[in-house]
Amino acid sequence: MFDSLSDRLGGVFDRLRGRGALTEADVRTAMREVRVALLEADVALPVARSFVDKATEAAIGQDVLRSVTPGQQVVKIVHDTLVDMLGPDTAELDIAVTPPAVVMLVGLQGSGKTTTTAKLAKLLSGRERKKVLMASLDVNRPAAQEQLAVLGQQVEVATLPIVAGQQPVDIARRALQAAKLQGFDVLMLDTAGRLHVDQALMDEMKAVSDIARPNETLLVVDSLTGQDAVNVATSFSEQVPLTGVVLTRMDGDARGGAALSMRAVTGKPIKFAGVGEKLDAIEPFHPKRVAGRILGMGDVVSLVERAAESIQAEDAERIANRMAKGQFDMNDLRAQLQQMRRMGGLGALAGMIPGMKKAQAAMASGAVDEKILLRMDAMITSMTPKERAKPELLNAKRKIRVAKGSGTTVQDVNKLLKMHQEMSTAMKKLKKMGGLKGMMAMLG
């Protein structure tokens, strides 16, 4: 997600951070580069323009330029402006009403509407224990209703029985009645899509909306279509009262333009992001986390949440403290390796830690699997406590001893040391950025 934008902005910020003092001209130059990066990411022009105006004003207007860490302050301003643009908080579904709450999904054909209907139904029936009924109103696409029925079986959610030949408004009426009579908490309506926005589609949607009076009308858009997604959103939001947006295929979206423009263009929050074809591949959209990810500050909140699930609390605190101090020895590496085995892979973890992209690449190229993790553990076990605390003690002779002790080669030991070195550098970088706590404060 957002990789290319993230790289571009990372370059701009590295140049900023590299200088001690900043002049107004430096900030303006950097902001021009930010604007280019946003446009390359396919952010809508007016959105990019207003973004840069706001961020520039904030950066020049405050005492930023005279502060001790002007580069860092500018990054924070860009971060805050991003959060502002994406919407300040995670927007929940408004379904706490007298049941049944009606959630209507609208969008173009192929945007992922039917899949998203099933994903949301699964989410609501599983985690939130709601009794959910799904109904497809798509009478245009052959087998659309059957597709939803199949997905319903997969996620174990009820679907409205199909009555051949029935029209959308009548299906909506029947679905509503069934939901009321059978005590469903939530009714999800998957409406018909079209290849393009046209009046017939809009009229049908309005007619259904009048009957069903949805609590949520979610527009489903394919994030990969960039500017087109923005145009589609504009047309829909002019015609139906949307309550939110679901962006699909975020798993393949390296540019992020649709995600970044959507709120500004529709005035409605992105509520969920589809992140894969599987039926559990959907996530609530967290603007702060996304902004953090885009700025290469890592998805620290997600990291901490996931880590908390698998590490003992005191362990987590100890590691966080050491990370904050920029310390990272072989014992920490070993603790990390053990967690990784529990947390399901190093790649995912490393991607979430600021500045860890390089280390992540190094590990990916070494294809870290269970066996390699165990071998690394054996090498660390073969070190003396002193060597573990100060890996630089490991000269040629000591390396041979460690290799022998762990049934590996000196080359393996060197690889381990290199990996430790890279992670340690990443930790120091993290410290420079104000440590984990500072980062958390920044992410809000």
Question: Order of strands across the sheet with 101-107?
Answer: 158-159, 132-136, 186-190, 101-107, 216-222, 244-248, 270-274, 282-284
Please report whether residue 110 would count as binding ligand GDP according to CB under 6 A. yes
* Pairing mode of beta strands 270-274, 244-248: parallel
Residue whose CB is less far from ligand GDP, 120 or 363: 120
Task: Return phi, psi of residue 65, to 5°.
Answer: -65, -25
Contact predicate 148/114, CB 8 Å: yes
- Residue 290: helix, strand or coil by DSSP? helix
Contact predicate 103/186, CB 8 Å: yes
- Residue among 4, 29, 69, 109 that touches ligand GDP (CB under 6 A): 109
Q: What is the DSSP string of 62-124?
A: SGGGGSS-HHHHHHHHHHHHHHHHH-SSPPPP---SSSPEEEEEEE-TTSSHHHHHHHHHHHH
Q: Cα 402 vs. chain centroid, distance in angstroms?
A: 41
Q: Is 423 annotated as a binding residue?
A: no
Q: Which stretch binds ligand GDP (CB under 6 A): 68-76, 89-97, 154-162, 246-254?
A: 246-254
- Residue among 72, 111, 243, 266 that touches ligand GDP (CB under 6 A): 111
Q: Is 110 annotated as a binding residue?
A: yes
Residue whose CB is less far from ligand GDP, 194 or 431: 194
Contact predicate 321/313, CB 8 Å: no
Q: Which stretch binds ligand GDP (CB under 6 A): 248-256, 288-296, 335-343, 428-436?
A: 248-256
Q: Is 81 annotated as a binding residue?
A: no
Q: Which stretch binds ligand GDP (CB under 6 A): 94-102, 113-121, 323-331, 348-356?
A: 113-121
Contact predicate 246/219, CB 8 Å: yes
Q: Is 389 annotated as a binding residue?
A: no
Chain position carrying tokens 């699930």: 309
In the complex, minimum distance from the CB of residue 109 to ligand GDP, in angstroms, rounded to a whole number:
5
In the complex, minimum distance from the CB of residue 414 to ligand GDP, in angstroms, rounded to a whole number:
39
Q: Is 53 annotated as a binding residue?
A: no
Residue whose CB is less far from ligand GDP, 93 or 148: 148
Residue whose CB is less far from ligand GDP, 70 or 107: 107
Please report whether residue 145 would count as binding ligand GDP according to CB under 6 A. no
In the complex, minimum distance from the CB of residue 200 to ligand GDP, in angstroms, rounded to a whole number:
17
- The C-alpha angle 190, 191, 195, rounded to 5 degrees, equals 120
* Pairing mode of beta strands 244-248, 186-190: unpaired
Please report whether residue 293 would count as binding ligand GDP according to CB under 6 A. no
- Residue among 114, 159, 225, 339 that touches ligand GDP (CB under 6 A): 114
Name the residue number minimizing CB distance to ligand GDP: 274
Task: Return phi, psi of residue 200, to 5°.
Answer: -60, -40
Residue whose CB is less far from ligand GDP, 2 or 328: 2
The interface with ligand GDP within residues 184-213 (CB under 6 A) comprises: 193
Largest CA distance in the chain: 82
Please report whether residue 140 would count as binding ligand GDP according to CB under 6 A. no
Q: Which stretch binds ligand GDP (CB under 6 A): 61-69, 180-188, 243-251, 413-421?
A: 243-251
Number of residues that bind ligand GDP (CB under 6 A): 18
Measured distance between the N- and C-terminal CA atoms of the chain, rounded to whole angstroms:
21
The interface with ligand GDP within residues 265-284 (CB under 6 A) comprises: 274-277, 281
Residue whose CB is less far from ligand GDP, 214 or 274: 274
Burial of 202 (0-12, 13-18, 19+ CB in 10 A): middle
Q: Is 192 annotated as a binding residue?
A: yes
Rounded Cα–Cα distance for residues 294 and 297 (Å): 8
Q: Is 250 annotated as a binding residue?
A: yes
Residue whose CB is less far from ligand GDP, 189 or 403: 189
Task: Return phi, psi of residue 302, to 5°.
Answer: -60, -40
Site residues, ligand GDP (CB under 6 A): 107, 109-115, 193, 248-249, 251-252, 274-277, 281
Binding positions for GTP are: 107-114, 190-194, 248-251
